Amino acid sequence: MTPQHHDIVPDTKSCVTHLECSMTNEIIPADELHNLSPHGYPILVRYDLDAVRSSMTKEVLTSRAHNLWRYRELLPVRRVENVVSLGEVMTPLITLSRIAAKYGVDAQNIIVKDEGRLPTGSFKARGLALAVSMAKELGVTKIAMPTNGNAGSALAAYGSRAGMETIVFCPDDTPKCNMDEIALQGARLYKVNGLINDCGKIVQDGKQAAGWFDCSTLKEPYRIEGKKTLGIELAEQLGWNVPDAIFYPTGGGTGLIGMWKAFDELEKIGFISAKRPKMVVVQSSTCQPIVNAFDAGERHAKPWPNAATYAAGIRVPAAIGDFLILDAVRESKGFAVAVDDDQIRAALDEIAKVEGLLMCPEGAATFAAYKRALSDGRVGTDEKVVLFNCATGLKYPMPDGGQPLNRHEKIDYQTL
């Protein structure tokens, strides 16, 4: 039997009150279409947390479907018929007990949250499910974005699901599987001879002439709200606790910003204590603008020239929400780590062979960063850490495997 909207989304109401400029705290009206704030900064969604507290209790949650829409009161969609869903399941926590034993860590202290189980195979489904649902609610019919791959796949899928026209621009060296997926799922795809910021400029410059809505990272208020569910879900899965540290692959940083917002909201409604995890930015050494800004004590990051990395999803030369990322890291007493592409490849290989878990390059980068932080003492063996695997490794090219075996010749079974 096909699930209906009321099976997916709780029969309750969003508790949104208003929107707010992330830099100036200027109040911005909800229920209107917005990109950046009047001052040119990302917009944050605010809620009546007293109303949330009375409606969304821990006991109530136990009866709701295990998907991101279970947190309806803390999500912005007003009308249930505007929810655009492809089945956003709660993603599992996978304990790396064999890896832990290898590095002298308690068996329960290294956990992967595997976002590859979501629709379109990545955590981009969270943000785009909310962004597209809100675009539908606010009357948008044509939507565009730049992408390094997975976000474009999610926009294409959710846009088609909503009956919208979608246009996606990606660097021309984006992984082929991502580009093919975007096109197959209904978007018009343009391969640009540049980086994601060059694609973003095309989206920005074409808004008026082409008549599309710009759904770029942090240039509309609602992708943060979808990514926020990373933090709510994680806390719930840990018994309404938070880990000691979260290692997060950081390009635009929407998920890190969203989780930090989620923890604040959860404390205010009495679901978690004041404890916060150390938020750890993970970038590639060949594209590390946030790491450099953190190390220099700066609040904004300088654009990274000639960005290139094996982990294409974190190849973001400039993040519009850089100050929000850096604020969260510093407030949490976290840090920022850059790892080499060779270390990322080695980490991916190690987890696959030791644990049987196929991570994406960006997810593998978090394990490479964790090993470095473990070795230099920035995290201890007694600390519980969560590594975010942001997409299934099946979406990425793999090395050739296996060797030929001729069944017509005598087989020496002892050598196999």
| Cα angle 71-254-315, degrees, rounded to a multiple of 5 | 145
Nearest to 70 by CA among 236, 198, 183, 218: 236
**10 vs 5, 80, 206, CA distance in Å?**
9, 9, 38
pLDDT digits (tens, 9 = 90+) for 309-325: 999 899 999 999 999 99
Q: Strand order in 385-389's β-sheet?
A: 93-95, 110-114, 385-389, 245-249, 278-284, 335-339
* Assigned domain for 172 exists: no
Which amino acid is present at 88? E
Total domain count for the chain? 1
Assess contact for 115 and 122: CB atoms under 8 A: yes
* Assigned domain for 329 exists: yes
Q: Which two tokens stand for residue 141?
A: 């019919």
* Assigned domain for 283 exists: yes
pLDDT digits (tens, 9 = 90+) for 198-218: 999 999 999 999 999 999 999
pLDDT digits (tens, 9 = 90+) for 358-390: 999 999 999 999 999 999 999 999 999 999 999
3-state helix, strand, coil in the chain (%, to 5): 40, 15, 40
Q: How far apart are CA 83 and CA 190, in angstroms?
A: 28
Confidence of residue 6 (pLDDT cuts 50, 70, 90): low
Q: How far apart are CA 307 and CA 286, in angstroms?
A: 6
Percentage of residues in the chain having pLDDT higher than 70: 98
* Assigned domain for 255 exists: yes
Query: Coil, strand, or helix at residue 86?
Result: coil
Chain centroid to Cα 399, Å, comes to 26
Q: What global pTM score does this model have?
A: 0.95
Q: Residue 44's beta-bridge partner residues?
A: 20
pLDDT digits (tens, 9 = 90+) for 32-63: 999 999 999 999 999 999 999 999 999 999 99
Phi, psi angles (nearest 5°) of residue 350: -65, -45
Q: How far apart are CA 42 and CA 29, in angstroms?
A: 14
- Residue carrying structure tokens 């949330």: 52
* Assigned domain for 411 exists: no
**246 vs 110, 365, 371, 402, CA distance in Å?**
10, 13, 13, 36
Residue 193 has pLDDT above 60, yes or no: yes
pLDDT for the residue 2: 44
CATH number at residue 257: 3.40.50.1100
pLDDT for the residue 5: 59
* Assigned domain for 371 exists: yes
* Assigned domain for 86 exists: no
Q: In this structure, which long-range contacts are made by residues 374-378, counting pairs with CB atoms below 8 Å and at least 24 apart in sequence?
A: 374/103, 374/105, 378/335
Residues 6+ apart with CB under 8 A from 192: 169, 170, 171, 172, 198, 199, 202
Which amino acid is present at 229? T
Phi, psi angles (nearest 5°) of residue 348: -60, -45
* Assigned domain for 302 exists: yes
pLDDT digits (tens, 9 = 90+) for 237-269: 999 999 999 999 999 999 999 999 999 999 999
Largest CA distance in the chain: 78
Find the domain containing 380 and state its range: 93-120+221-393
Q: Is 120 left (phi over 0), alpha (psi -120 to 50) or beta?
A: left
